[in-house]
């Protein structure tokens, strides 16, 4: 049993106001990404009813769970929201077996002991844990405890599942296993879900859609593939492994036409318009680190975007060296080890960078 989530909330934090306005259609999985302290977990707490907003509403399947600001304040208690919450810590009851922990989910929804235990047994079997039903949490591995916690959340048949960094506390060897378990059961159950994570792979595997939050504001929202391919925020670009340069659109351009962006430092960057652009629009130019060429002197030849830069760092990668420059603009460049040696690249060195206009995608922010 799943439902549509509708959120329109604001709450003042110490440094900024968190404003969240979005919908999650029935059966959709949405990932909320952003830097540490951006307000991601605050949004989850507001939806769960663990935190009251200064103003706004939360509604699930048309049922109002929170309403502040118009008339008498109204907040449904967290345990009456039909919402499941799973975080980094499984928070299993240490004195209960795995079966009894999972049975607690349906029991909290008013089911009888026998019905709850039967449902718990079925969920443990789905999680490949039926042979561990009698074990207590201390007798389980971290991955097994997390699967028990997921089974408990899903056994309660929540209309909405909230996942707050569910893989963050697991060891690296366990993460792929639990990620696949989550993916399988989110898809099979069609559970509407909201996932807070800092890991782009979690979002790519688990989410239909990504919302990016910076300083309490939603700065990007779209299908997962679109946000990772053409991010509209600096954080989104970093996650996707892309360079993003902000500026102002200089001239009108239709999608697919040439576009010019004026950066804050007065430098013009030419690319291809991703959508219709008008002069004065706040825009973002996005391009891959591998699309940037490095020279020890100003390049000539065909007209391309080029600018002087100072090397800030060199970082060894699997197949390339990641070169980062000091701004403006700050960009990442992938070069071969041979190029590092040939051009004598080192931190503090001065170089010229160049990227073809056809490699640059310009869109509205």
Same domain, 217 and 334: no
Domain membership of residue 232 (yes or no) is no
Q: Give the pLDDT mean for 220-228.
A: 88
Q: Give the pLDDT mean for 275-301.
A: 86
Domain membership of residue 322 (yes or no) is yes
> Percent of the chain, pLDDT > 70?
97
Same domain, 169 and 259: no
Domain containing residue 343: CATH number: 2.40.50.100
Domain membership of residue 93 (yes or no) is yes
Within 10 Å of residue 14's Cβ, how many Cβ atoms? Answer: 5
Same domain, 203 and 314: no
- Residue positions counted in the chain: 365
Contact 129, 104 (CB under 8 A): no
Per-residue pLDDT for 190 more than 90? no
The mean predicted confidence, pLDDT, of the chain is 87
Same domain, 187 and 38: yes
Question: Residue 296: what are its φ and ψ, rounded to 5°?
Answer: -90, -5
Confidence of residue 329 (pLDDT cuts 50, 70, 90): confident
Domain membership of residue 234 (yes or no) is no
Same domain, 76 and 171: yes
User: What pLDDT, on the 0 to 100 scale, is given for residue 69?
Assistant: 83
Q: What angle in degrees, to the nearest 10, is found between the helix axes of 113-126 and 142-155? A: 130
Same domain, 155 and 50: yes
Confidence of residue 319 (pLDDT cuts 50, 70, 90): low
Same domain, 39 and 140: yes
Same domain, 165 and 291: no
Within 10 Å of residue 62's Cβ, how many Cβ atoms? Answer: 8
Count of domains forming the chain: 2
Same domain, 260 and 218: no
- How does pLDDT run across 157-180, given as a tens digit for each residue? 889 999 998 887 777 777 777 787
Q: Give the pLDDT mean for 70-86.
A: 86
Domain containing residue 82: CATH number: 3.40.50.300
Among the three residues 227, 257, 283, which one is the final residue of a domain in this structure?
227
Among the ranges 50-59, 221-230, 232-241, which has the highest mean pLDDT value?
50-59
Same domain, 192 and 284: no
User: What pLDDT, on the 0 to 100 scale, is given for residue 79?
Assistant: 83
Among the three residues 195, 227, 259, which one is the final residue of a domain in this structure?
227
Within 10 Å of residue 65's Cβ, how many Cβ atoms? Answer: 25
User: What pLDDT, on the 0 to 100 scale, is given for residue 327?
Assistant: 67
List the domain range (segments joined by +) for residue 248.
242-365
Q: Give the pLDDT mean for 194-207.
A: 87
Among the three residues 227, 257, 281, which one is the final residue of a domain in this structure?
227
Same domain, 111 and 249: no
User: What pLDDT, on the 0 to 100 scale, is given for residue 1?
Assistant: 57
- The HSE-up count of residue 127 (CA atoms within 13 Å, CB side) is 31
Which class for 34: exposed (0-12), middle (13-18), buried (19 or more C-beta within 10 A)? buried
């Amino acid at each position: 049993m799943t439902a549509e989530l509708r959120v329109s909330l604001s709450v003042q934090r110490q440094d900024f106001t968190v404003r969240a306005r979005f919908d999650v259609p029935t059966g959709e999985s949405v990932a909320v990404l952003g830097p540490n302290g951006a307000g991601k977990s605050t949004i989850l707490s507001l939806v769960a009813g663990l935190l009251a907003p200064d103003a706004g509403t939360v509604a699930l399947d048309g049922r109002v769970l929170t309403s502040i600001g118009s008339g008498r304040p109204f907040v449904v208690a967290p345990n009456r929201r039909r919402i499941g919450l799973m975080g980094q810590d499984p928070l299993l009851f240490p004195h209960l077996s795995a079966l009894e922990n999972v049975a607690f989910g349906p029991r909290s929804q008013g089911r009888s002991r026998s019905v709850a235990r039967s449902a718990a047994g079925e969920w443990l079997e789905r999680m490949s844990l039926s042979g561990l039903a009698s074990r207590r949490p201390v007798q389980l591995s971290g991955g097994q405890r997390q699967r028990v916690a997921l089974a408990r959340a899903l056994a309660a048949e929540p209309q909405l599942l909230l996942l707050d960094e569910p893989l963050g506390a697991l060891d690296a060897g366990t993460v792929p296993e639990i990620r696949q378990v989550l993916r399988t059961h989110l898809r099979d159950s069609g559970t509407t879900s909201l996932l807070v994570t800092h890991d782009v792979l979690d979002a790519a595997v688990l989410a239909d859609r990504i919302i990016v939050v910076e300083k309490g504001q939603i700065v990007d929202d779209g299908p997962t593939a679109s946000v990772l391919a053409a991010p509209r925020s600096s954080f989104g670009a970093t996650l996707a492994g892309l360079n993003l340069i902000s500026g102002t659109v200089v001239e009108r351009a239709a999608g697919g036409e040439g576009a010019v962006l004026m950066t804050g430092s007065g430098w013009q960057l030419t690319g291809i318009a991703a959508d219709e652009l008008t002069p004065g629009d706040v825009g973002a130019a996005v391009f891959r680190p591998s699309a940037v060429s490095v020279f020890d002197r100003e390049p000539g030849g065909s007209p391309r975007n080029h600018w002087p830069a100072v090397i800030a760092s060199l970082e060894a990668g699997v197949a390339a060296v990641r070169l980062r420059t000091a701004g403006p603009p700050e960009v990442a460049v992938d070069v071969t080890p041979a190029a590092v040696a040939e051009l004598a690249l080192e931190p503090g060195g001065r170089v010229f960078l160049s990227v073809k206009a056809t490699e640059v995608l310009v869109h509205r922010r």
